[in-house]
Amino acid sequence: MKTHEVVIQPGRSEKHYWRDLWKNRELLYILSMRDISVRYKQTILGTSWSLIRPLTTMLIMVFVFSKVAKLKGDPGIPYPLMVLAGITIWTFFANAFTQISTCITANSNLVTKVYFPRLIMPLSSIVVSFIDFLIALGLFVLIAIWYQFWPDWHILFLPLFMVLALLASFAFGLIFAVLNVRFRDIAQLIPFLVQVGFYACPIAYSSRLVAGESWYPLYILNPLVGIIDGFRWSLLGENAFFNPTSIVYSVLIISVVLVISVYFFRKRENTFVDDI
């Protein structure tokens, strides 16, 4: 057997970091399982909460924006389906982003007592949020069947937008996670950001409504715009508004932020415990 050698030096990241990360995949699985199984302990409704929440949000949105504010959806698409598609992908992003941002401090009992590649924690936040997302997507399918709405070939692009949403939450979440270790202000800031994001992104309305505005070029610099529009487009077809330029922006911005945030995280992760 080959002996396992480790050199510890300031600023020196583990040589076999990515291999270590792969070796710890069981830990990733177990931490994710922990978060999933713990969440609905001592609740009466149990896992059905993960259906109740998006469903009620959708009903409120439909009531407020469609019946009260009388916003127009995309032509040929039932307004509730449009909203639900937006809510589904946004909720995934927002949950994953929020949980990644606070994952280090939430697991401080582990961070201060054992070593493992710290990226396991944000990854496990993603796994948990992704499972919620799959449940919400199932809900969407049921409601689409209710409206007798069938997807077409656009659905083939769905995984692309899911992956982009995942990478976006990871990229932005990591930076906030590192900052939150040192500055707990971040934990206060996040719900606020998520709330602003909800209205800044085309969730309750279609991007078609703002496409003519003079500030539209700025609007699509928000990487979530392209992802949400694209997600809708792949689920609901050609009638849903989708500007291909916006997804190009999304890919570019997310790639840059992802590289920076992983670098930043790796640089700081060895001393999380000193600030926590």
Partner 1 sequence: MRQRVVSHRFATKRHMAVITVEDISKRYIIDHKKGKGSNSIKDAVVEQFRKLFNGKNSSDAERIEHEEFWALRDVSFAVEQGDRIGIVGHNGAGKSTLLKILSKITEPSSGRIHIRGRIASLLEVGTGFHPELTGRENIFLNGSILGMSREEIRRHFDEIVDFGGIEKFLDTPVKRYSSGMYVRLGFAIAAHLDPEIMIIDEVLAVGDAEFQKKCLGKMRDVSASGRTILFVSHNMTAVQALCNKTLYFERGQLIEQGETNQVISSYLSKVSKTRLARHWATPEEAPGNDLVRIKRIELIPEYRDNQNFIDVRTPFRVRFEFWNMMDKANLNLSLHLNSMTGECIFNVGTQSQPFAKGVISGECLIPGHFLNDGTYNVSVMIVKDTVTPLYNMEEGLIFDVADYREGVAWYGKWPGYVRPQLEFHTEMMEENILND
Phi-psi region of 70 (alpha: psi -120 to 50; beta: other; left: phi over 0): left
- Measured at the CA of 245, the angle between CA 243 and CA 247, to 5 degrees, comes to 85
> Minimum CB separation from partner 1 for residue 78, in Å?
40
Q: What's the sign of the alpha-carbon dihedral 29, 35, 36, 42?
A: positive
CB 212 within 8 A of CB 54: no
Report the interface residues with partner 1, using CB under 8 A: 3-12, 14, 26-27, 30-31, 34, 37-38, 41-42, 109-116, 182-185, 270-275
**Residue number with CB closer to partner 1 (239 or 270):** 270
> Minimum CB separation from partner 1 for residue 92, in Å?
24
* Tokens describing residue 272: 């999380």
Cβ burial 151-169 (10 Å sphere, 16+ → b, else e): eeebeebbeebbebbbbbb
SS3 44: coil
**Residue number with CB closer to partner 1 (38 or 68):** 38
> Minimum CB separation from partner 1 for residue 216, in Å?
32
**Residue number with CB closer to partner 1 (123 or 162):** 123
| Alpha carbons 104 and 273: distance in angstroms, whole number | 10
> Minimum CB separation from partner 1 for residue 13, in Å?
9
**Residue number with CB closer to partner 1 (70 or 113):** 113
Query: How many residues are present in the chain?
Result: 276
**Residue number with CB closer to partner 1 (11 or 212):** 11
**Residue number with CB closer to partner 1 (24 or 239):** 24
Q: Within 10 A of 246 (CB to CB), how many other CB atoms are there?
A: 25
| Alpha carbons 257 and 266: distance in angstroms, whole number | 14
> Minimum CB separation from partner 1 for residue 186, in Å?
8
> Minimum CB separation from partner 1 for residue 21, in Å?
14
